[in-house]
C-alpha cells in the first residue's frame, strides 16, 4: 500500500500534502475501507484489479477531475451526499445559507400552521436536506430544472431518511404555482459566462455555475419573483459571488425588501444576503 500511495503522490505531484491526501482517499475508495485502514494495514497487498482501478482514478485526478466525482460523494452539513457530474459539488460556504435560514425562522410552527421553505436549484439537495435534518417539522420544497439532479437529490433524501422534502422539476418558480413560503433559499448559478473560473470548474455542469454573460441573471430573477411566493414577513436567503454583494443588496432594496443584510464567509468574503418581504 505504501508503494501505491507513494506512486499516487508522485503522479498527482504539484501540491505534496494534497497529492498524498488525494491518493489516500482514492485508494481507500477503491478498497472500500476507511483511510485509517491504509495506515493500520500498510503492509497488506492489494490485488491487481484494485491496483488497476486505483491507477485509472489517479490519471483522471491528475487530469483535474474533482475528487468528489471520482469517489461519488461529498460531505455537507455532516450529511454524506451522493454527487455526480449532473450536480454541483456542494461547497462549505453554502452552509451559511443553512445557518442563516435556521436563525431566521422559528423551529416550530404556531398552532395549526406549518413552516414552509423552498430551496430553488437544489442540485444534490444539500441545502434542503440540511434544513430538513435540523428542522424535521418544517415542510421543504426543493426544485431544479435538471431531472438528473433531482433524481440524485431524491436518492440522497431517501438515504438520509428525510421524508418531509418534496422535489419538483422546472424553471425556478414555475413548478410552485401560487404557493407561498416562510423562506425561499437558493444558491443559484452566479459565475459570469466568460469568467476564467469557468475553465477550472469545467467538470461541473455549466447550467449549475453560470446563468449567462453577466453572472447576476438568476439572482435578479429570484429577487424579482420571490416576493410573489413569500408569506408576509418571509425571508429570501441568497448565496452569491464575493463581488456581487452590492448589486444583490441594491436589487433587493429596489424590489421593496426590508432588513437587507449581507454575511461574510470564514474567508471574509460577502457571500450570503438575506432580506425580508413585508407586504
Ligand atoms: C450553484 S448550483 C447549487 C446546487 C445546490 N443548491 C448547492 O448549493 O450545492 C445551482 C443549481 O441551480 C439549478 N438551476 C440552474 N438554472 C435553473 C433554473 N432556470 N431553474 C431551476 N433550477 C436551475 C442547477 O441545475 C443547479 O442544480
pLDDT at 12: 86
Q: Which atom of ligand 1 is nearest the CA belonging to 89? A: 9
Interaxial angle between packed helices 16-31 and 48-62, expressed in degrees from 0 to 180 and rounded to the nearest 10: 140
Q: From the CA of 71, how far away is ligand 1's center (Å)?
A: 22
pLDDT at 111: 72
The number of CA neighbours under 13 Å toward the Cβ of 224 is 7
Q: From the CA of 187, how far away is ligand 1's center (Å)?
A: 7
Using the predicted structure, report yes or no on whether residue 250 has a pLDDT greater than 70: yes
Cell numbers placing 111: 398552532
Using the predicted structure, report yes or no on whether residue 39 has a pLDDT greater than 80: no
Residue bearing the CA closest to ligand 1, atom 17: 145
Q: From the CA of 125, how far away is ligand 1's center (Å)?
A: 10
Residue bearing the CA closest to ligand 1, atom 26: 208
pLDDT at 17: 62
Confidence band for 109, pLDDT divided at 50, 70 and 90: confident
Q: For the chain, what is the mean pLDDT? A: 93
Q: Which of 279, 177, 274, 174 is nearest to 223 (CA)?
A: 274
Q: From the CA of 63, how far away is ligand 1's center (Å)?
A: 26
Confidence band for 122, pLDDT divided at 50, 70 and 90: very high
Q: In the chain, pLDDT over 70 holds for what percent of residues? A: 98
Q: Of the residues 83, 117, 145, 239, which should be mutated to test ligand 1's pocket, given the most ligand atoms within 8 Å of the CB?
A: 145
C-alpha 198/C-alpha 189 separation (Å) is 11
Q: Which atom of ligand 1 is nearest the CA belonging to 239? A: 8
pLDDT digits (tens, 9 = 90+) for 141-175: 999 999 999 999 999 999 999 999 999 999 999 99
Interaxial angle between packed helices 2-12 and 48-62, expressed in degrees from 0 to 180 and rounded to the nearest 10: 20
Q: From the CA of 24, how far away is ligand 1's center (Å)?
A: 31
Whether the Cβ atoms of residue 190 and residue 183 lie closer than 8 Å to each other: no
For the chain, give the DSSP string: -HHHHHHHHHHHTTSHHHHHHHHHHHHHHHHTS-HHHHHHTTT----HHHHHHHHHHHHHHHTT--HHHHHTEEEETTEEEE--TTSPPP-GGGHHHHHHHHHHS-SS--TT---EEEEES-TTTHHHHHHHHH-TTSEEEEEES-HHHHHHHHHHHHHTT--SEEEEESSTTGGGTT--EEEEEE----SBTT-THHHHTTTS-HHHH-SBSSS-HHHHHHHHHHGGGEEEEEEEEEE--TT-HHHHHHHHHHTT-EEEEEEE-TTS-EEEEEEEE--
- Using the structure block, give the residue that is written with the C-alpha cell 438568476: 218
Q: From the CA of 27, how far away is ligand 1's center (Å)?
A: 31
Residue bearing the CA closest to ligand 1, atom 4: 123
In this structure, the residues whose C-beta lies within 6 A of any atom of ligand 1 are 87-88, 90, 94, 121-124, 126-127, 143-146, 149, 171-172, 187-189, 207-208
C-alpha 168/C-alpha 140 separation (Å) is 11
Indicate the domain borders of the chain.
Answer: 2-64, 75-277
pLDDT at 218: 98
Highest mean pLDDT among 46-50, 109-113, 122-126: 122-126
Confidence band for 205, pLDDT divided at 50, 70 and 90: very high
The number of CA neighbours under 13 Å toward the Cβ of 248 is 28
Q: From the CA of 149, how far away is ligand 1's center (Å)?
A: 9
Q: How many CB atoms lie within 10 A of CB 73?
A: 18
Q: Which atom of ligand 1 is nearest the CA belonging to 209? A: 1
For 85-148, give the DSSP string: TTSPPP-GGGHHHHHHHHHHS-SS--TT---EEEEES-TTTHHHHHHHHH-TTSEEEEEES-HH
C-alpha 176/C-alpha 191 separation (Å) is 25
Whether the Cβ atoms of residue 124 and residue 83 lie closer than 8 Å to each other: yes
For the domain made up of 75-277, give the CATH fold.
Answer: Rossmann fold (3.40.50)
Confidence band for 225, pLDDT divided at 50, 70 and 90: very high
pLDDT at 15: 61
In this chain, the answer to whether the domains covering 2-64 and 75-277 adopt an identical fold is no
CATH of domain 2-64: 1.10.8
Rg over alpha carbons for the chain, rounded to the nearest Å, is 21
Amino acid at each position: 500500500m505504501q508503494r501505491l500511495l507513494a506512486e499516487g503522490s508522485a503522479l498527482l505531484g504539484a501540491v505534496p500534502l494534497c497529492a498524498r491526501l488525494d491518493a489516500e482517499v482514492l485508494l481507500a475508495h477503491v478498497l472500500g475501507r476507511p483511510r485509517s485502514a491504509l495506515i493500520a494495514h500498510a503492509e497488506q497487498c492489494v490485488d491487481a484489479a484494485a491496483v488497476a482501478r486505483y491507477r485509472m482514478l489517479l490519471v483522471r485526478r491528475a487530469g483535474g477531475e474533482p475528487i468528489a466525482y471520482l469517489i461519488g460523494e461529498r460531505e455537507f452539513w455532516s450529511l454524506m451526499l451522493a454527487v455526480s457530474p449532473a450536480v454541483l459539488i456542494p461547497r462549505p460556504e453554502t452552509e451559511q445559507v443553512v445557518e442563516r435560514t435556521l436563525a431566521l425562522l422559528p423551529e416550530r410552527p404556531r398552532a395549526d400552521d406549518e413552516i414552509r421553505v423552498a430551496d430553488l436549484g437544489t442540485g444534490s439537495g444539500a441545502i434542503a436536506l440540511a434544513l430538513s435534518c435540523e428542522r424535521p417539522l418544517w415542510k421543504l420544497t426543493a426544485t431544479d430544472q435538471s431531472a438528473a439532479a433531482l433524481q440524485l437529490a431524491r436518492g440522497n433524501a431517501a438515504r438520509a431518511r428525510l421524508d418531509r422534502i418534496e422535489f419538483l422539476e422546472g424553471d425556478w418558480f414555475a413548478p410552485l404555482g401560487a404557493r407561498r413560503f416562510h423562506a425561499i433559499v437558493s444558491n443559484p448559478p452566479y459565475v459570469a459566462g466568460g469568467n476564467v473560473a469557468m475553465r477550472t470548474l469545467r467538470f461541473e455542469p455549466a447550467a449549475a455555475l453560470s446563468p449567462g454573460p453577466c453572472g447576476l441573471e438568476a439572482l435578479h430573477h429570484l429577487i424579482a419573483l420571490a416576493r410573489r411566493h413569500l408569506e408576509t414577513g418571509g425571508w429570501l436567503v441568497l448565496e452569491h459571488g464575493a463581488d456581487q454583494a452590492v448589486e444583490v443588496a441594491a436589487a433587493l432594496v429596489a424590489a421593496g425588501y426590508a432588513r437587507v443584510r449581507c454575511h461574510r464567509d470564514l474567508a471574509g468574503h460577502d457571500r450570503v444576503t438575506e432580506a425580508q418581504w413585508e407586504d
